[in-house]
Chains A and B, each alone.
Chain A
Amino acid sequence: MADTHAHSVAFVRKDVIPESPPPARQTGVPKWLRENLFSSWANTALTIAAAWAIYMVLSSFLPWILNGVWDASSLSQCREILAGKTGACFAVLTERWHQLLFGFTYPSELYWRPVLAFIIMLVAFAPVLFFDLPRQMLVVTVLFPFIAFYLIWGGPLLTPIIAFLGCVAGYLVFSHYGKANFATGFFGGIAAAFIVWSIGGLLVDLVRPEEPWMTPVPSRDLGGFMLNMMLGVTCVSLSVPLGIVLALGRQSDMPLIKAVCVIFIEFIRGVPLITLLFVASVMLAYFFPPESTVDLFLRVVIMITMFSSAYIAEVIRGGLAALPKGQYEAADSLGLDYPQAMRLIILPQALKISIPGIVNVAVGLFKDTTLVSVISMFDLIGMIRGPILASTEWSGVYWELFGFAALLFFVVCYGISQYSQWLERRLATDHR
């Protein structure tokens, strides 16, 4: 039978035809190119134009980077080495990197101190930013401001200890009396802190050692990107709590508190930051006697904090306004008092809504710290615009220096922005 059949048909295929590859234009790179880049005449034209633009940028930019001179002592020497070719003069970064990062007067043998403070800062912020980490790490966070102060400014060890004890005393008084009466606890806490600080201040002056372990560094000697980081970190972390208080104050039923908050916010928002900085650096000096002037760094911190807290207050007010009235009523019906309702129900939701806005203000604030260069503080931009471009060796180097500054700021600001997106995803409880 099989035999007959075998002869009756000319050919029988005994195995499956192997799969042939799809036509070249329907697969892989060609398909992707055709669908995404050359799907129509208009898209083809745009693709070619874009490719040309990218080529133009890279063809001038890449040689500039790759030919870069990293080892020279001045711009003219850079030009000699390049001998007419295109190329960057990165030698300015290798020679002056420490001035860009720390300013030109911070003693170079003490650079380890701000670096150590920076590392501790990362540890201190971790538990605040990532709340899955063990809560014990918050000890570092609480101690960090005092450690950082001691590391960066130096001086007698007693100063940060007294500052810390003052804060502890204030907190103890507040937690003891604050439960019964908020105002008593609050003002009592402040009074207690001030008593400790003034007694401690006398004590520090009494036992001031001739040569403290940590060489003191005056605020005037701070500079470079370190100054931007210090201003940014201090002002953001101070202005968020202050902004919350202002936002709540603006919603308060008590006319006095409401009026104070509204006037503060509207006044600060109506004044440019640079004006506040000029007031801090120039005008205040007229009103204090020359010996007792408040430290310039502190004056600038106060002004920037005031400025950004007004903005953050408005952002948080937006978050509070977005909550349905039912949430407030639900809190009331549970019998919670005002602090409990705010802490447990209202603020967690309002702050979550406000995250993008707060981050927006924080990023803006961090970049605004470069404005201090106009009041002759040598932050990163001040260092570039002032001493480095005015030195006989490096006068005329722009792109390399400002590119470096842009890179540093981009890294930090992009990090903040990525963190906020992570935070939003992490806190997302709704079903979208």
Chain B
Amino acid sequence: MKKSILFGALTVAGLAAGGAAAATLDDVKARGKLNCGVTTGLVGFAAPDANGEWKGFDVAVCRAVAAAVLGDPTAVEFVPTTGKTRFTALASGEIDMLARNTTWTFSRDVDLKFEFTGINYYDGQGFMVPKELGVTSAKELNGATVCIQTGTTTELNLADFFRANNMEYEPVPIETNAEAQQQFLAGACDVYTTDASGLAATRATFEDPTAYVILPEIVSKEPLGPLVRHGDPEWGDIVRWTLYALITAEELGVTSTNAAELASGTNNPEVNRLLGTEGDLGAMFNLDADWALKAISSEGNYGEIFAKNIGVDTPVGLARGLNAQWTEGGLLYAPPFR
């Protein structure tokens, strides 16, 4: 009896949350601000600078969506979430979208009732070890102590990898990347494992980066992308196509500097459709015709965002790799705008 009351209350709460979610676009427009969930801090992906301005690769996605919907890339309320609080924050309606380098998995998509709206970074889990250990392959790590962030997919991948290779390991559970870094440097663990992008970013901040090697094995697929709640397909479409607009803009050579100029009309119909001078793509999901133009003008196209936050010229120093356009041997492939 008591149980049924509890479930009843949960159902009502769920329905209330669902009802509130049904018109996220209207909510965001009425509020005048986009509530976007980000990490509490990850080098290159999301962190506030000395003036309290959020900067980073994931932050740029939030800003692009805000620009497309509200016309103002600064109309974002960044809600910092930890690995543990991120999904409840999204499910309860506290945030409209989550851009927190979250791995797209079956159970998160289906069981947690979220909708991943694309992939903005193709990552994979790697291992970093001190050079003096003399390890050259992850297959030699039998019996190692491993620093691992809790509540992430990396924790599960690690178990899978060691089980598949019949090896033993001792996990050292850690809450944040910053702590893992310190534990690893202090020698609390032989190996630090997380997404390869995170390893590169972490190693870049070491006093002597050359004393550490990132092993060649990538043991998992980590497609990271923004996500929204189930139950509001229109809002999901807006987030999805904003991301695709950034990717397509790079493919078509539309940048933050030339977008306004190209918007006055070009010979390329795809560019025209993207920037709203031809067709009425924006009106199909109740946005202005120049929604993509605003999104691209805010932080630049995908390539510009990548170069500015995590590219080879930044301290993070990541190469494009899998995240290059499909025309250049990468996996970025946006469906056509028509």
Contact = CB atoms under 8 A, between A and B. Distances in A.
B126 to A, nearest CB: 18
Nearest to A218: B77
B93 interface: yes
Residue among B43, B44, B79, B202 with most chain A CB within 10 A:
B43
Contact of A392 (B16, B17, B47, B84): B47
Interface string B84-123: 1100110111100000000000000000000000000000
Nearest to A290: B93
A75 B205 contact: yes
A392 B205 CA distance: 8
B231 to A, nearest CB: 14
A121 to B, nearest CB: 25
Interface stretch (A42-50, A302-310, A324-332, A372-380): A372-380
A281 B91 CA distance: 13
Contacts of A374: 82, 84, 175
Nearest to A285: B92
Interface stretch (A54-62, A165-173, A351-359, A383-391): A383-391
Interface in B48-96: 48-52, 77, 79-82, 84-85, 88-89, 91-94
B178 A286 contact: no
Interface class of chain A by DSSP: helix
A391 B16 contact: no
Nearest to B35: A290
A12 B314 CA distance: 97
B-side interface size class:
35 or more
Contact of B182 (A220, A293, A387, A398): A398
B202 to A, nearest CB: 8
Contacts, number: 110
A376 B85 contact: yes
B277 interface: no
A299 interface: no
A286 B92 contact: yes
A99 B52 contact: yes
Given A385-B179, A396-B205, A390 B80 contact: no
A391 B207 contact: no
Contacts of A395: 43, 178, 181, 201-202, 205
A105 interface: yes
A400 to B, nearest CB: 13
28 contacts: A105-B48, A105-B52, A108-B51, A281-B85, A282-B85, A285-B88, A285-B93, A286-B91, A289-B16, A290-B20, A290-B94, A375-B82, A376-B81, A376-B82, A385-B178, A386-B80, A386-B176, A387-B41, A387-B48, A388-B41, A390-B42, A390-B177, A390-B178, A392-B43, A395-B178, A395-B201, A396-B206, A398-B182
Given A286-B92, A290-B20, 19 more contacts: A220-B79, A286-B14, A286-B88, A287-B13, A289-B20, A290-B92, A290-B93, A291-B20, A378-B80, A385-B41, A385-B178, A386-B80, A386-B176, A388-B41, A389-B41, A390-B47, A390-B177, A390-B178, A398-B182
